[in-house]
């Protein structure tokens, strides 16, 4: 589980969130993953690295999101 401050995460592009969570080493890597169909938010594929998850995209009372890269790399993002 990765804890991120709400101010650091809300309104950020999914590529930036992937880097903050440690799922990708760079925003360009996250963007390539998204274009290739290998980046998921709450188990839904993300096709564009510039996509911004809204506050309604966080589950568990608006505090948790599941970021996945590939088939088996899961990162639980919790807003604190």
Predicted local distance difference test score (pLDDT) of residue 34: 94
**Looking at per-residue confidence, does 73 or 10 come out higher?**
73
Domains along the chain with CATH numbers: 2-79 (3.10.290.10)
**Looking at per-residue confidence, does 17 or 58 come out higher?**
17
User: Does the pLDDT at position 22 exceed 90?
Assistant: yes
Positions of E strands within the chain: 2-4, 39-41, 44-45, 64-69, 73-79
Model pTM? 0.87
| Residues 31, 41: Cα–Cα separation, whole Å | 13
Confidence of residue 56 (pLDDT cuts 50, 70, 90): confident
Give the sheet arrangement for strand 2-4, strand by strand. Answer: 2-4, 73-79, 64-69, 39-41, 44-45
């Amino acid at each position: 589980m990765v804890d991120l401050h709400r101010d650091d995460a809300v309104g950020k592009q999914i590529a930036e969130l992937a880097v903050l969570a440690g799922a990708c080493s760079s925003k360009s890597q996250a963007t390539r993953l998204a274009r290739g169909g290998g980046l998921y938010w709450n188990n839904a594929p993300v096709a564009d690295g510039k996509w911004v998850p809204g506050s309604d995209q966080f589950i568990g009372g608006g505090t948790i999101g599941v970021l996945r890269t590939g088939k088996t790399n899961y990162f639980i993002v919790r807003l604190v």
